[in-house]
């Protein structure tokens, strides 16, 4: 990803992935810049979100989060990678 416009085919899974990462305390842009996440890994995250079939549940869960960071719910396709990335990022 080059930081340009978000391709339309990424749509909702792109935003859900970014939102889930943010709530988990992970900055995906920073993770990429620091080498913890490749562009291919990032696209893979979006693809896993797209095929996960839990968009409504994720959106509902995200809407209820007021205190961050918090681990993603067990049904999230990104539980493992966000746990790994959260340990790499120290603010």
Q: pLDDT per residue over 15-61, tens digit each?
A: 999 999 999 999 999 999 999 999 999 999 999 999 988 889 999 99
pLDDT for res 87:
87
DSSP state of 3: S
Q: Rounded CA gap, 85 and 10, in Å? A: 22
Q: Rounded CA gap, 57 and 59, in Å? A: 6
In the predicted model, is pLDDT for residue 67 greater than 60? Answer: yes
pLDDT for res 68:
86
Structural domain spans, the chain: 11-88
DSSP state of 76: -
Higher-confidence position of 6 and 22: 22
In the predicted model, is pLDDT for residue 82 greater than 80? Answer: yes
Please, are residues 89 and 28 in contact by the beta-carbon 8 Å criterion? no
């Amino acid at each position: 990803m080059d930081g340009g416009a978000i391709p339309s085919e990424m749509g909702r899974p792109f935003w859900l992935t970014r939102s889930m990462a943010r709530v988990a305390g992970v900055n995906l842009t920073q993770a990429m810049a620091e080498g913890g996440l490749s562009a291919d890994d990032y696209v893979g995250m979006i693809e896993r979100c797209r095929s996960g079939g839990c968009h409504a549940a994720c959106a509902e869960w995200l809407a209820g989060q007021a205190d961050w960071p918090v681990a993603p719910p067990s049904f999230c396709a990104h539980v493992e990678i966000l746990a790994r990335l959260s340990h790499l990022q120290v603010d």
